[in-house]
Amino acid sequence: MINEEKRVNSRKIYDGTILNVRVDTVTAPKGHACREIVEHGGASAAVALTEDGKAVMVRQFRYACDRVVLEVPAGKIDPGETDPEKVMIRELKEETGYTASEIIPLGKINPSVGYSEEVIHLYLMRGITPGSQQLDEDESIEVVLMPFDEVYDMAASGQLEDAKTIAALFMAGHYLGRG
């Protein structure tokens, strides 16, 4: 039988802009255990496809891994926002300039279930129209159009490392009959 842990007490140890960290004491089979939890408001990410089957990807430097990473467009759910689909509409416009006429929910993922509450909502966006990026002050993003099959194969062969991107591509591929 699997023990379902229950919180006994909780102590916040960090309160940040993007995330918070708390330490919980929980029930365990032989007493109590300690769990360090990252609190994160969640995010949305999408595979946006052009009429000719190209995926709208973004390339940006990611400080945490100290390199430029190829990703699907995505963004965090800000405080007060309750609709992850609207977040994705906003983020697609801000990061890439594109807008979409069709938004298909693909599901959601918990990228790190061992220590984070973060949930990322994934979408397929079609009927996209180009426009101008509306980047935040601290963003530097290059928009890259790539054939969906090529970027899907990059995910399948281990050439991509961003978890939300890989999950979104596989879920979109399944939806499109690719995987």
Residue owning tokens 């690719």: 178
Structure tokens at 85: 């689909």
Q: Which of 4, 91, 118, 137 is catalytic?
A: 137
> Cα–Cα distance between 165 and 151 in angstroms, integer?
10
Taking Cα atoms as reference points, which of 45, 44, 49 lies closest to residue 145?
49
Task: List Cβ neighbours of 41 (8 Å cut-off, separation of 6 or more).
Answer: 76, 77, 78, 79
| Burial of 176 from C-beta contacts in 10 A (0-12 / 13-18 / 19+) | middle
Q: Among this protein's residues, is 94 annotated catalytic? A: no
Residues 6+ apart with CB under 8 A from 147: 53, 54, 55
Map residue 80 onto helix, strand or coil: coil
> Residue 148 and residue 14: Cα distance in Å, rounded?
40
Residues acting as catalytic residues:
137
